């Protein structure tokens, strides 16, 4: 079993484990006061100014001269019961850069700007929300109501995190979502497993049957993976090329191995047809489970699963290693 300990999110989760404690610490008071003074200037320019902990999804609103922690998660402002798929605050946190996107709630359209701010040796994300409903022009012949507006905005946001070929999540989504799921596992004291999956000899499929058929195989593999996991809890992403990452929150190694074995059997039993000729393909799987107390980076967590995938390839392919 390949097991790792507490994940060091974005370099050092222990340094950024609780923004609330950091904001309340005596050492940060001077920096906080300076930040509040600066943010107060934005209160007249924006409808809402807030500080977000993108990993723990906690939110602090800037009202007058004080930060006020809300008894809710940042995404609940958007009337969502789940973490946003396209979290620009997480992206701003990881990339240390400013990002902007459009969101829609309560028949209002908002421009959201996420800005990383250094608070001493810490990084917090300032979100600036501007209601632009009245200043947006949408043709009545194109959009007839709020549902259409929401659909357009949601589709635009989904494009940023979806792989166009397989319609799975992409590498960007992995970088934004995996740290959050890991931290949730730490808080709940429950295991989390990831599976790295890779099609065997995929290059030969492209060479022999063409890239169009190669794309068909990738889509079928993606459907096999998504059909083997829990909807709404687990998620699947295309890591790159013919390699995929499957995230299984609250899942131990044995259960992850059963899921991977189900995926392996499913793909090897599929039959593809090219110019009247039938062919099959297999896949290899590597599993890593998060539990324990050691510190490791997100990249090392993925690499641990990738090493098990490499072992599966080295030992003959079409197998699961954990």
* Residues 191-224 pLDDT 10s: 999 999 999 999 999 999 999 999 999 999 999 9
Active site residue 242: yes
**Buried b vs exposed e over 254-283: b needs ≥16 C-beta within 10 Å?**
eebbebbeebbebbeeeeeeeeeeeeebeb
pTM, 2 dp: 0.72
CB 90 within 8 A of CB 57: no
- Residue tagged active-site, from 242, 250, 275, 315: 242
pLDDT classification of 3: cutoffs 50, 70, 90: very low
> For residue 139, is pLDDT > 50?
no
Q: Give the separation between CA 6 and CA 298, rounded to whole angstroms.
A: 10
Most confident segment among 1-10, 122-131, 179-188, 311-320: 311-320
Q: Give the separation between CA 244 and CA 221, rounded to whole angstroms.
A: 9
Q: Give the separation between CA 169 and CA 229, rounded to whole angstroms.
A: 14
Residues 6+ apart with CB under 8 A from 230: none
| pLDDT (average), residues 169-175 | 91
CB 233 within 8 A of CB 81: no
């Amino acid at each position: 079993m390949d097991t790792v300990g507490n994940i060091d999110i974005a370099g050092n989760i222990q340094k950024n484990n609780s923004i609330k404690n950091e904001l309340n610490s005596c050492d940060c008071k001077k920096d906080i006061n300076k930040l509040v003074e600066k943010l107060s200037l934005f209160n007249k320019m924006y409808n809402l100014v807030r500080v977000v902990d993108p990993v723990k999804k906690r939110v602090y609103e800037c009202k007058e001269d004080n930060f006020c922690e809300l008894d809710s998660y940042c995404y609940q402002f958007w009337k969502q019961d789940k973490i946003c798929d396209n979290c620009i605050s997480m992206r701003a946190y990881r990339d240390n850069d400013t990002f902007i996107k459009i969101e829609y709630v309560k028949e209002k359209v908002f421009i959201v700007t996420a800005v990383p701010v250094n608070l001493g040796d810490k990084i917090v994300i300032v979100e600036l929300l501007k209601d632009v409903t009245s200043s947006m022009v949408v043709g009545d012949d194109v959009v007839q109501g709020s549902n259409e507006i929401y659909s357009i905005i949601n589709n635009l946001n989904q494009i940023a995190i979806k792989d166009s070929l397989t319609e799975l999540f992409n590498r960007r989504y992995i970088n934004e979502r995996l740290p959050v799921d890991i931290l949730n596992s730490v808080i709940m004291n429950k295991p989390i497993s990831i599976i790295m999956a890779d099609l065997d000899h995929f290059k030969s499929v492209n060479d022999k049957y063409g890239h169009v058929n190669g794309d068909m195989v990738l889509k079928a593999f993606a459907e096999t993976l998504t059909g083997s996991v829990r909807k709404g809890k687990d998620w699947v992403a295309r890591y790159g090329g013919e390699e995929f990452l499957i995230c299984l929150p609250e899942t131990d190694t044995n259960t992850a191995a059963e899921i991977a074995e189900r995926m392996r059997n499913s793909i090897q039993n599929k039959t593809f047809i090219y110019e009247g000729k039938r062919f099959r393909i297999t896949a290899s799987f590597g599993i890593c489970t998060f539990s324990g107390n050691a510190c490791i980076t997100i990249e090392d967590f993925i690499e641990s699963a990738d090493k098990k995938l490499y072992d599966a390839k080295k030992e003959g392919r079409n197998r699961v290693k954990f």
